[in-house]
Structure 1
Amino acid sequence: MSKPTIKRKNISALCIVLFSSVAGLWSNAALGQATPHYNVLFIAVDDMNNRASVFGFPTVLTPNLQRLRKRGTVFTNAYCQFPMCNPSRTSLLSGWRPDKTGVYNNDTRPRSVMGPDVKFLPEYFKMYGYHTERVGKILHGDFENDIAWDYSDSLYIGELRYDEGSQSLTGKKDGGGSWWVTSSPDDSTANGVLVRRMLGRMRLNPPQPFFMALGLTVHNPFTPSISYWNVYGDHAAPQLLPVNRQGQKNGLSGNGSSNIVLPATPAGDRSDVPPVAFPSQVLKSTTEWQNTVHAYYAEVTGMDKQLGLIFDELERKGLWDSTVIVFWSDHGQHLGEHEGTWLKNTLFEESAKAPLIVCVPGKRPAVSKALVEMVDIYPSMAAICGLPAPAGMEGTSFLPLLDNPARPWKRAAFTQVQRYNNPPVNEYGLVTSQYRYNSWGKDGEELYDHKTDPFEYVNQVLNPAYATILSNMRKLMAGGWTRVLPPADPVAINAVTTTNDALQKTGELKVYPNPSKGEKIFVELQSEYNESVHIVVHNSAGKIVQQMTNFLHTGNNILSFSAAERAAGVYTIAIKGKQLSATSLFVLQ
């Protein structure tokens, strides 16, 4: 089947979507679009938390991410949907939440449970004429092969995590951050190799528009080069450093770690938390803990240095002003908080929150505190690049936040984990602008007040002063993600209302239920004629989002449609024929 072509007509920005009453579904097709079709640079970093200068943590230096900050929007409250590599990336790349993907671990092949027809994000862009390439980890393991790229690099990122003198990832996994230091040059580190392979692809001048995806890593084990290890620590108190997982030392010396400030973890921090909240506990001596955190900080700065080479190449080729850059991580990274919690797979902030920076040409740089979710990236990128809104998304385009980062947005963001009971049980957490609530079913609950307790040390579930808050959070959890979507823009609502009132009407429409919570919508009208009519639906911004032609019979006519895949907001439906003209407003919650 031939690819749909991208139209480049200079017409007003609108996305026209064919509306099928026969199938009873909302479906999409691009008929015209004025939004520029930017190139895309899609950068994923494995297991990175928000401890970086670009996110307001000045200790960890990320000067090249600061270059993005000067051009883009930094989202300080972005949350993954499942803090584990495969489930999180599958959700992000499909626009589906984990309960829809059916992927809850690192072993499930996404297509084995999602089916062969799902369009992952790069495949959607490819369908609309983009040239797509991948270097590094974008999905997970050999599941990368399930995505149809125009070019897919064969190198697996695990091959690049090495002990000194070895090119294999050896040793057993553990629940705490492993680390060692390499004396190898930057270009032979994992990120160095990946960046140079990507630079090689960029220098081949791929067709435009392109979708180039680069997967980098700060994943455990932390194996920075000595040059970045020595960015941190105490040069006046050097130490001999391990050069492999077994802790072997061969004379490599570097800065000491005694001045590394550790994350706080009050004594007894786990005592008021259901034990199921913690997948493991690894307690380290103060010295070993400082060394591990030191290695992670060095890893992040080394990754940032390599990333700068990609940005330099964009500048050299004059592509900054025609390329959308999305920088993200699949989830966060624990560094020993909560009395020995490491890595990920918890519902705490350190694990559930993840980096997200979006740079769009022509948009003013900003910092947004709005609650966004990684599942939002797919529909957002389609909107930013002028592609039709993809069907079936469970995320919300955050394009409006790029113009107004402080506008009202989602009331909550959701994350889930699975605990390996028999059978496995899915557990859920949500965060609002002030509170975090985690539900562990029969095993208990957690409630934290981020205003007074940003690091989640004190569980307020049993505090009578929080009884009303707890009740409200339980209701939010029960309502799910469809009940916390962004409100419609009041200015846009007023514009649509004014337009609706100004239309000359010869008939009356009845739309019900109104407001609708996503179930089937019925449109009822009386017609005095047998005639063909044109039906158009506008969203709250006044853009056409659906249209169709239908035949009405004399008498009462009832049309029914499913709105389950439409964003919350205010819509206008207008029906016009030779004899009949009618409009109505309806609201999706």
Structure 2
Amino acid sequence: MSPHNILFLMTDQHRVDTLGAYGNTVVETPALDGLAARGTRFDRFYTPTAICTPARASLATGLHPFRHGLLANPERAAGGQDELNESQPLLWPQLRAAGYQVGHVGKWHIGREHGPEHHGLDGEHLPGALNPVRHPSYQRWLADRGLPPFAVTDPVFGTAANGVGRGHLIAGRLRQPVEATVEAFLTDRTLALLERYAAGRRTSGRPFMLSCHWFGPHLPYLVPDHYYDLYDPDDVVLPESMAETFAGKPDVQRRYSEYWSADAFDADAWRKLNAVYWGYVTMIDHQIGRILRALEEYGLGDDTAVFFTADHGEFTGGHRLNDKGPAMYEDIYRVPAIARVPGGPAQVSDAFATLTDLNPTLLDIAGLPASEPCDGDSLLPLLTGDTGGARAVLDRTEVVAEFHGHHFPYSQRMIRDRRYKLVHNPESVHELYDLDRDPHELRNVHGSPAYADVRRELTGRLYRELLRRGDPAHSWMGYTADIGGHRAPDLDGVADDLG
């Protein structure tokens, strides 16, 4: 039997706490909950960086963002490159070379101009960060089905921080039926490719990898009335981090809050916005259900590895912030991740894992070695219950993430273990959170004498990991941070030579 098929489902800007599988008792997500019940739900899954393009590029390459070079969304360039380096081995061409049928539907956002077809995938480039409501393909799809065009009423805007004009669009009522939404459009396209690939699997035995990446529930939350009003705002419990004062925090967080005008909405308004966001999540879950049912109808359920994840999370008012940005809180760095592989057990994993690990995992499913170079580890042994083979992942004690800017250059590095999180901000105050005592990350204890040993230990561990990776940020830390005995020998040698 040839290698298993792969169905890869991805959302954008998706909070972990919106899924029933992750403990939400109000939001209806039957498709994803069912997938989690039959596979592996990751409880400590992180994005390598909470911004679309570099996170997706890490999935494509298996490399840390500083290594693949796409450091920010091209629409908000922060000094990085706009396209992937053609010399870097990408996931999908390797699968094609191994005989896979490979298709991609939906959001790509890996670079500015080169879409999936540029890399040999079946699919069309739908450029940009948001739903492509003006794209000719979507317009033709609507016309062919006699469906009404995109239109929004009752828009909800923020307030411009400079007091001139209105701020960002946050939500609105979509004047279309569900079957006319971009989400339905992407699902229809995915189903068409799935039918074609299923036929290819039957006739030639060729496996497939098919991806569907929705643009939501990324703001603005533009959904039909049914989903806009699906949840009662009174059932929304606002995050405790909305009590954020920014005391002892980098000032950029306060400025970003002003930019997104989070304080322009009172508690009732935020409850409604969160309820609409939940409705968006349910709408996408219903589309996922359509695809999973088709997979079973084609008799492919036992022969297909299914993955679901998101590129990063969203604040939705947490920490008096919205969207994502220069703050490395759990709201946007911890993401949902569910995987079901043929023969794998139903389980919950608390091992640290990231999007970067999914690149070698998917290649492993296809019987292919990891790319060279590759910064991730295959999760396949863990997914199949092979604890011995999964030691590289199971033995991890921490996760490290990076950020390079969005709207403007801004460098950050984070190390997070099972109790603490340290965020290194070269231009500002650093952050340290005791997640056992302060799970909502409200109190920065970086300067607290009681945490001096923890601070020094984590700073040193972060420095050594950045040095090991070759991340240039280690150099700045080597001269400015309290890294104790973790200092690299080359720096000590230079000091001795100069002394």
**TM-score scaled by structure 2?**
0.78
- Most deviating of 297-306 and 426-435: 426-435
CA 1:482–1:387: 2 relative to 1, 3 Å: farther
Structure 1 counterpart of 2:207, from 185, 206, 209 = 209
Question: Which amino acid counterpart does residue 101 of structure 2 have in structure 1?
Answer: H
CA 1:177–1:429: 2 relative to 1, 3 Å: farther
Say if 2:415 and 2:422, in contact at 8 Å, map to a contact too.
yes
Structure 2 counterpart of 1:132, from 102, 109, 120 = 102
Distance (whole Å) between structure 2 residues aligned to residue 317 and residue 426 of structure 1: 47
Greater strand fraction, Structure 1 or Structure 2 = 1
Shift of 1:307: 0.5
Question: Which amino acid counterpart does residue 121 of structure 1 have in structure 2?
Answer: L
Residue of structure 2 in register with 1:276 after alignment: 252
Structure 2 counterpart of 1:432, from 417, 438, 441 = 417
Question: Which amino acid counterpart does residue 320 of structure 1 have in structure 2?
Answer: G
Distance (whole Å) between structure 2 residues aligned to residue 433 and residue 304 of structure 1: 30
Residue of structure 1 in register with 2:192 after alignment: 200
SS of 2:94's equivalent in the other structure is helix
Residue of structure 1 in register with 2:114 after alignment: 143
SS of 1:289's equivalent in the other structure is helix
Once the two structures are superposed, residues 385-434 of structure 1 have per-residue CA deviations (whole angstroms, 9 ceiling, x without a partner) of: 32123210011112232215796332211222224799x34211121111
State which structure, 1 or 2, has the greater radius of gyration over its C-alpha atoms: 1
Residue of structure 2 in register with 1:85 after alignment: 52
Residue of structure 2 in register with 1:353 after alignment: 334
Distance (whole Å) between structure 2 residues aligned to residue 193 and residue 292 of structure 1: 25
Structure 2 counterpart of 1:471, from 431, 456, 467 = 456
Please say if 1:186 is aligned against 2:178. Answer: yes
Residue of structure 1 in register with 2:497 after alignment: none
Give percent identity, aligned residues only: 26
Alignment map for 1:233-382 (pairs within 5 Å):
233=232, 257-265=233-241, 267-277=243-253, 280-281=256-257, 282=261, 283=263, 284-382=265-363
SS of 2:114's equivalent in the other structure is helix
CA 1:367–1:420: 2 relative to 1, 3 Å: closer
Once the two structures are superposed, residues 524-559 of structure 1 have per-residue CA deviations (whole angstroms, 9 ceiling, x without a partner) of: xxxxxxxxxxxxxxxxxxxxxxxxxxxxxxxxxxxx
Say if 2:83 and 2:113, in contact at 8 Å, map to a contact too.
no
Say if 2:89 and 2:371, in contact at 8 Å, map to a contact too.
no
Distance (whole Å) between structure 2 residues aligned to residue 154 and residue 168 of structure 1: 23
Greater helix fraction, Structure 1 or Structure 2 = 2
Once the two structures are superposed, residues 148-188 of structure 1 have per-residue CA deviations (whole angstroms, 9 ceiling, x without a partner) of: 234113555632389x9653899999876711123522211
Shift of 1:47: 1.1
Once the two structures are superposed, residues 128-149 of structure 1 have per-residue CA deviations (whole angstroms, 9 ceiling, x without a partner) of: 1111111101344643247423
Question: Which amino acid counterpart does residue 210 of structure 1 have in structure 2?
Answer: F
Shift of 1:279: 6.2
Please say if 1:389 is aligned against 2:375. Answer: no
Distance (whole Å) between structure 2 residues aligned to residue 103 and residue 278 of structure 1: 27
Please say if 1:59 is aligned against 2:26. Answer: yes
Once the two structures are superposed, residues 275-320 of structure 1 have per-residue CA deviations (whole angstroms, 9 ceiling, x without a partner) of: 1346611211222211211110000011001110000000100101
Distance (whole Å) between structure 1 residues aligned to residue 123 and residue 374 of structure 2: 25
Please say if 1:414 is aligned against 2:381. Answer: no
**TM-score scaled by structure 1?**
0.67
Question: Which amino acid counterpart does residue 380 of structure 1 have in structure 2?
Answer: T
Question: Which amino acid counterpart does residue 280 of structure 1 have in structure 2?
Answer: Y
Distance (whole Å) between structure 1 residues aligned to residue 323 and residue 82 of structure 2: 30
Structure 1 counterpart of 2:446, from 440, 448, 461 = 461
CA 1:367–1:106: 2 relative to 1, 3 Å: same
SS of 2:184's equivalent in the other structure is helix
Distance (whole Å) between structure 2 residues aligned to residue 331 and residue 323 of structure 1: 25
Residue of structure 2 in register with 1:225 after alignment: 224
Say if 2:117 and 2:123, in contact at 8 Å, map to a contact too.
no
Question: Which amino acid counterpart does residue 237 of structure 2 have in structure 1?
Answer: V
Distance (whole Å) between structure 2 residues aligned to residue 86 and residue 278 of structure 1: 25
Say if 2:107 and 2:126, in contact at 8 Å, map to a contact too.
no
Question: Which amino acid counterpart does residue 228 of structure 1 have in structure 2?
Answer: Y
Shift of 1:362: 0.1
Say if 2:325 and 2:405, in contact at 8 Å, map to a contact too.
no
Please say if 1:96 is aligned against 2:67. Answer: no
CA 1:112–1:442: 2 relative to 1, 3 Å: closer
Distance (whole Å) between structure 1 residues aligned to residue 92 and residue 449 of structure 2: 49
Distance (whole Å) between structure 2 residues aligned to residue 181 and residue 420 of structure 1: 28
Please say if 1:38 is aligned against 2:4. Answer: yes
SS of 1:180's equivalent in the other structure is strand
Distance (whole Å) between structure 2 residues aligned to residue 176 and residue 415 of structure 1: 28
Tell me how many residue pairs correspond in the alignment.
426
Say if 2:253 and 2:326, in contact at 8 Å, map to a contact too.
no
Once the two structures are superposed, residues 45-80 of structure 1 have per-residue CA deviations (whole angstroms, 9 ceiling, x without a partner) of: 111110211222223221100121122111111111
